[in-house]
Amino acid sequence: MPVPTAPVPSKAPPPPLLGPDDPPPVSVLNPGSTVPVVLVCDHAGRAIPASLGRLGLAAADLDRHIAWDIGAAAVTHRLAGRFGAAAVLANYSRLVIDANRALHDPTAIPVISDEVVIPGNRAIDAHEQDRRVAALFTPYHDAIAALIAGHRAAGRVPALVSVHSFTPVMRGFARPWQVGVLWDYDPRIPVPLMERLRAGGRWCVGDNEPYSGRGTLGGTVETHAIPAGLPNVLIEIRQDLIADDAGAGEWAAVLGDALAPILADPALYTATLYPREQPA
């Protein structure tokens, strides 16, 4: 006669990552805009869900570049206002999950960043990864995809402009650039943008500096713009220049003035695929 066994209790599903007092994962500005430009800010915010505490970090760590792109959101807001364009901003810290990474990238949920260990990320399992993806990563990319799809459905080919900021010093190297223009092989926005920013000799402008946009995979631009042939550019601004409202306003004006004639050209708005490897 079989021996009865006690039923195995079912494991309770994890609670939602975001609670009622947490901010939304994404902010969308000018969602109904017909201007064929979509601005994105992957590291706009430094929020951390209340359910995760501070990921084991000191409060001061969340003021640093490891948590967000200082000043990038303020510049994005101003550019969206100037051009009347839609903008999508990720409100949560890249330390929870980085919206500008492929999900298989080990830095998508970093265990260490700029020599700072992230205790709350050291022992997460697949369920916790999925919870962060569903709550934060997917809504951000869905919002971008929806705006692009809306433009395409209306017969428009939008340009994608991504706004970031970078630290003045990295591993002891004082970075000389005030602004960097990152791009792969589509020159339509990056090349004239660099020419305009360099005119007059006031700014040190990086061409794929302080990072390179060439051959990268899994980021926002690589996901939404390059495969579809959308004109695109990623702009990096040195964060000490935009850390306050005055600096953000100045650089929004600098970039807005440089971008205005480029974005005003109707010839820009075509879907054109550029090979990732150019002939020598």
Structure confidence at residue 280 (pLDDT): 55
Confidence of residue 93 (pLDDT cuts 50, 70, 90): very high
Residue 18 lies in a domain: no
Q: Cα dist. 90→23, 80, 109, 220, 265 in Å? A: 11, 15, 15, 11, 29
Give the N- to C-terminal CA distance of the chain in Å, as an integer.
Answer: 79
Structure confidence at residue 111 (pLDDT): 95
Residue 176 lies in a domain: yes
Structure confidence at residue 3 (pLDDT): 47
- Tokens for 105, please give them: 């990238």
Q: Count the Cβ atoms, other than its own, within 10 Å of residue 64.
A: 17
Q: Provide the number of structural domains found in the chain.
A: 1
Q: 66 with 18: CB under 8 angstroms?
A: no
Please tell me the distance from the alpha carbon of residue 5 to that of residue 18, in angstroms, as a whole number.
38
Count CA atoms within 13 Å of residue 36 on its CB side.
23
β-bridge pairing 169-170 and 86-90: unpaired
Q: pTM above the 0.85 mark? A: yes
Closest-CA residue to 148 (of 138, 158, 163) = 158
Give me the chain's average pLDDT, please.
94
Q: 46 with 64: CB under 8 angstroms?
A: no
Residue 208 lies in a domain: yes
Residue 275 lies in a domain: no
CATH code of the domain in which 247 resides: 3.40.630.40
The proportion of the chain whose per-residue pLDDT surpasses 70, expressed as a percent, equals 94
Could you tell me the residue range of the domain that residue 46 belongs to? 26-264
Structure confidence at residue 114 (pLDDT): 82
Residue 239 lies in a domain: yes
Q: For residue range 165-224, what is the model confidence (pLDDT) as tens digits?
A: 999 998 889 999 999 999 999 999 999 999 999 999 999 999 999 999 998 889 999 999
Residue 21 lies in a domain: no
Residue 238 lies in a domain: yes
β-partners of residue 27 are 89
Please tell me the distance from the alpha carbon of residue 168 to that of residue 73, in angstroms, as a whole number.
18
Residue 40 lies in a domain: yes
Q: For residue range 36-91, what is the model confidence (pLDDT) as tens digits?
A: 999 999 999 999 999 999 999 999 999 999 999 999 999 999 999 999 999 999 99
